[in-house]
Amino acid sequence: MHENEHEYGDESGSPSKSNRRRWRLAFMAISFTSALRFLAKNVHENKANLLRSLSYVAIDVQPSADDAADEPAAGNEHLSFLDIDAKDLADIVRAKNFDSLMTQYGGVERLVETLETDAKSGINGTDSDLIRRKNAFGANEYRKQPVKGFLSFLFDAFKDTVIIILLVCALLSLGFGIKQHGWKDGWFDGGSIVFAIFLVVVVSAVSNFNQSKQFQKLSTQSSDISVEVVRNGRRHPITIFDIVVGDVVCLKIGDQIPADGLFLKGHSLKVDESSMTGESDHVEISAAGNNPFLISGTKVADGFGTMLVTSVGMNTVWGEMMSSVNRDLDEETPLQARLENMTSLIGKVGLSVAALVLFVLMVRYFTGHTTDDKGLREFNSSKTKFDDIMNVVLGIIAAAVTIVVVAIPEGLPLAVTLTLAYSMKRMMKDNAMVRKLSACETMGSATIICTDKTGTLTLNEMKVTEVWIGEKHLSENSASQISPTVISLLQESIGLNTTGSVYKPSPESNTEISGSPTEKAILSWAVFSLGLDMDEVTLQCDIIQVEAFNSEKKMSGVLIKRRHEQALQAHWKGAAEIVLAMCSNYYDRDGVIRPLNNEERKCIERNIQNMATKSLRCIAFAYKKLQVENGQVDEKNKESGLTLLGVAGLKDPCRPEVKAAVETCIAAGVSIKMITGDNVHTARAIAIDCGILKPGEDSESEAIVEGVQFRNYSPEERREKVERICVMARSSPFDKLLMVQCLKLKGHVVAVTGDGTNDAPALKEADIGLSMGIQVINFVASVSSGKVPLTAVQLLWVNLIMDTLAALALATEKPTNELMKKLPVGRKEALITRIMWRNIIAHALFQVTVLLTLQFKGRSIFGVDEKVKNTIIFNTFVLCQVFNEFNARKLEKKNIFEGIHKNKLFLAIIGITILLQVLMVEFLKKFASTERLNWGQWGASIGIAALSWPIGWLVKCIPVS
């Protein structure tokens, strides 16, 4: 019996038993409604009094004898949609318990009816139906690990050892200060440090909290997959989160199974369950073999089919597994790891400097070499009070610890994180979904991009533009020029050997064609040019066996049996030269079978080659009649001695922006290699269109190779030739993987683009997957004079500016086209380049010179006391950092203001920094230990800091290789 007969009826045309039952119920409901309407009309027209109604009326409708006979003998005859226990059904599918499926639910076909769906048309998909199913069985969403709150990030920031030491010092200073000077004046030193620490911690916590929220959002989007379902007879894509129990999902090679379910129909369906079981062998799924079970999270390895969704969300195997795994969103990228190492190294240097400062200051204080504001010795063993000693000691410890805090550039990893997160956000606006944060960074280091053709370099919008039957070219109106025999065979070949579908709700409505771009193009040609009626072809023939398309064989086949005929027919469709090699005969357009001798074969090969040079993908159709002997078909004969039906040329135009992008990459030193399944001629034409190949380059220069040729090279030959290859045609997934491995062995950072199905091995193997300074001024000043010119609060403020605000300002700089003029950074390149060292050393020398001059000669230059001098040093130091942020925008370009108006956030942060600095100096005297400066002193601070710009310009004149 045909696979759809149980839905509509038997061969005689009579309706099935389940449909007869439905029609009786529908007729009864209509009759009952009509009777009520008649009675209501009668009462209204005769103006009769209405009788008082009963509280309810129960009408017991007994099934007829026919209905009783139609019911199955199994124990689930009264099972309805609401009777199904979601967890029980989920357990049966998870355990792959076929016996329980049969005894409790009557098998797959009965479960389809119970779930009020249809194996061919799916659910009706109305809003009320979807809500009802979600209420009964849940939504296809997973319970996530609880998101860390802001307080957790605050606590993490406080856990830093250095911060804890500084906080202890501040609290002790607060206690001793209040004890010595009272509440009114004693809290300023300790309280100011506590507040400054709290400010640094809060800013860090806010940054990390916002980053975490953004990553959570990105994580949700990265797990959103498009799935094709059938609803109300129509195939259309939906998000994985919208799948409900009862949905009929279409599956093809490479698809991830979106929920737990049962196999309905399909051919050669094999599933890779290694992600769930660890077993690498592919599992064959079929209704006949008592294994119709499909588990979420696994992938379709071969074939195609449809599945009935039985469990979603937390009731699935994948849902349980995902909820128990806490995905680490704060992944560390390679650059961040290198920066962490550098930060650690700088921290050790800072710790050593701090220890030296602590030792020197302690020795100077306790040996009486330091004086107070009145010029008297600070320490006198017999006269100095214990509280005074403790305050000075705590101040020295705080200064030493603060040097450590300032020395460690913890803002660097934050800057990288902010930059990458910002890049991800911008890439998503360009419809580029980044699934791993590190890809944004690693992509910048790529030296070679191995790109797929279809959908990447081309638009993936196929259309049949050229057709040949035998040696004759057909014009647009194909059907009138072809024999009915050939048309009939082509209709069978296209209509039955396809993973696409044709849907036409009514004769008046438009035809909807779905499937892959290639399938859609061929089906569109068959429907509109050859008059293909999918339903008629499906009813006339039974499909016996299907061999799904795979990238190794480059073709797909189907074995069919026509009704009322004993013989079988094998139909093949695939790459033209491969199918042609299997043919011994061909049909001409008059329907005459002719032998394919050398002359005709060369002529057809020439036609295929000419189409390929016009960038057409050539698909050939062939068939063979097979006789059945003792119920068996000779498998070997299916793929030889075929009769060619015709060749179609499909056009997939290049994306208009591709040529410019390829030229930009090549100019930036990034090589582009195109790897495609098309033949050499098509691949060459597309590569020339895209700018990957120059018209003069051909296969003799080894710029183009075929996959089999590359595969057969010795490892030494492969390594020697791989960099010269620009195009690899007729490639398999193994060839692509081999090329990626070979390029990585040669030290390249390799990026791979692909559709994620047959390219999975290569994608997995591929890699794609700030100016800084160290504070030295406090160390020199403290060792030489015994005084630290910048207080703990001031140093923490500088740290906040340099590590956090500057990082945020520079991280949001938009990328410019000039970046593509730089060569990619190799995987072993130094983190700080020579250009960076040039800029860092120059500005560090300038700042140290200025600040030491102010430290030792500032009082005489400005004629001020110690406190005002220290405030000028603090003010100048902060403004130097602000001016240097502009230099850091452009490491090589002399015009550091180019495009600055486009980065509003940068300007806003600079403005906020300056405003806060004015507040610190002019209004927060006791908090920041500053003195108010006059206009001249402000002008001097700004003038000195502004020298960073001309110095930066001059430094960039120094050539660096």
Cβ-contact 643, 615 below 8 angstroms: no
Distance of CA 816 to the CA centre of its chain: 23
Is position 452 annotated as part of the catalytic site? yes
Is residue 443 within 8 A of residue 385, CB to CB? The reply is no
DSSP-derived 3-state class of residue 720: helix
**DSSP labels for 611-652?**
HHHTTEEEEEEEEEEE--BTTB--GGGGGSSEEEEEEEEEE-
Q: Are the C-beta atoms of residues 155 and 756 closer than 8 Å to each other?
A: no
Per DSSP, the residues of 721-738 read HTTT--EEES--HHHHHH
Number of H helices, E strands in the chain: 36, 23
Rounded Cα distance, 96 and 295, in Å: 9
Tokens of residue 235, six digits? 């195939």
Mention every residue, 6+ apart, whose C-beta is less than 8 A from residue 98: 290, 291, 292, 293
> Which one-letter DSSP state was computed for residue 663?
H
DSSP 8-state code for residue 926: H
d(CA 204, CA 195): 14
CA distance 309 to 251: 12
Chain position carrying tokens 């409604």? 33
E-assigned strand segments in 422-554: 448-451, 463-469, 472-474, 501-503, 512-514, 541-550
What burial letters (b/e) apply to 795-821, b meaning 16+ CB within 10 Å?
Answer: bbbbbbbbbbbbbbbbbbbeeeeeebe
DSSP symbols for 531-578? ---HHHHHHHEEEEEEEEEETTTTEEEEEEEETT--SEEEEEEEEHHH
Q: Are 461 and 684 in contact (CB under 8 A)?
A: no
| Those residues with Cβ within 8 angstroms of residue 559's Cβ, 6 or more apart along the chain or in another chain | 543, 544, 545, 546, 568, 569, 570, 626, 633, 638
Query: Scanning the structure block, which residue is given the tokens 């059907």?
Result: 479
Q: Which residue out of 255, 272, 302, 452 is catalytically annotated?
A: 452
Question: How many whole angstroms separate alpha carbon 598 and alpha carbon 606?
Answer: 12
Tokens of 563: 């009704």
- Where residue 123 falls (left for φ over 0; alpha for ψ -120 to 50; beta otherwise) is beta
Could you tell me the two tokens for 212?
Answer: 């975490």
User: Which residue, 470, 469, 471, 494, is CA-closest to 479?
Assistant: 469
Can you tell me the distance from the alpha carbon of 941 to that of 917, in angstroms, rounded to the nearest whole number?
12
Q: How many CB atoms lie within 10 A of CB 96?
A: 15
What's CA 52's distance to the chain center, in Å? 66
Which residue, 124, 267, 236, 123, is CA-closest to 514?
236
Residue 240: strand, helix, or coil: helix
Element (H, E) at 87: helix 86-94
Q: Are 446 and 767 within 8 A, CB to CB? A: yes
Backbone angles phi, psi at 75, to 5 degrees: -80, 10
**Amino acid identity, position 89:** L
Tracing tokens 């979600």 back to the chain, one arrives at: 134
Residues 728, 448: Cα–Cα separation, whole Å: 14
Strands 616-626 and 568-575: antiparallel
For 261, the 3-state DSSP assignment is strand
Residues designated as active site: 452
